[in-house]
Homo-oligomer: A and B are copies of this chain.
Amino acid sequence: MSLKYSILGLLHYQPMHGYRIKEHIEQNFGHMWSINYGQIYPNLKKMKDEALISMNEEICQGEKGPPRKLYTITDKGRAEFQRWLAESPERGMLLRDPFLMRFVFFDFGEDERSLELVDEQIQSWENQLARRYANLARWEGAGVYVRLMAELGVKTNEVLLAWLKEARQEIAAEAGLESRENVTAFLKTE
């Protein structure tokens, strides 16, 4: 389980409560982790029991909002994190994408519907790319590694998009379907 280590890593920046941790992970590791309360709270409890983090119940300390539990990383937590960080990473990359999962089987589907799904995906990845540019700007002043990571996010997204747009052309040609733009151009010259 490496959600544990994501949490320990995050707590290096500042003490946080569960709700905030979830927000951070969703914003910063959203493409790596899909997180939910059913994971976060039991994990925090377990990590507290193992003394990797400590909790102090700040009831309305900041005066605003409902009572929350602030978690701080302990020395034991830091040590455990360092041990993990210096380890050679285990098994390889997992890239699981529901679109790509289907794409690889589009040879067995209807080309017209495939093109629709491709267009939806182009839109979706364009939105994602915009969000990643925003991230890049937001982490301008952060550490080297965080910045490099944000750059990777942009780069992989750009490759994905470029590939899918090229693919679209090829699929449309193969299927004998014209893109809306080409059809319009054709009608104009007619």
Residues of B within 8 A of A148 (CB): 103, 163, 167, 170
Give how many copies assemble into the complex.
2
Partner of A98, one of B2, B97, B98, B124: B2
Measured between C-beta atoms, what is the minimum distance from A93 to chain B in Å? 4
**Chain B residues with CB below 8 A from A106, complex form:** 85, 145
Interface of A is mostly: helix
Asked if A89 contacts B101 (CB within 8 A), the reply is yes
Q: Interface size bucket, A side?
A: 35 or more
Residue pairs across A and B with Cβ atoms less than 8 A apart, 7 shown, are A2-B98, A87-B102, A89-B98, A92-B124, A95-B156, A104-B145, A152-B163
Chain A residues with a Cβ under 8 A of chain B:
2, 5-6, 9, 12, 28-29, 31-34, 81-82, 84-110, 113-114, 117, 120-121, 124, 128, 142-146, 148-149, 151-152, 155-156, 159-160, 163, 167, 170-171, 174
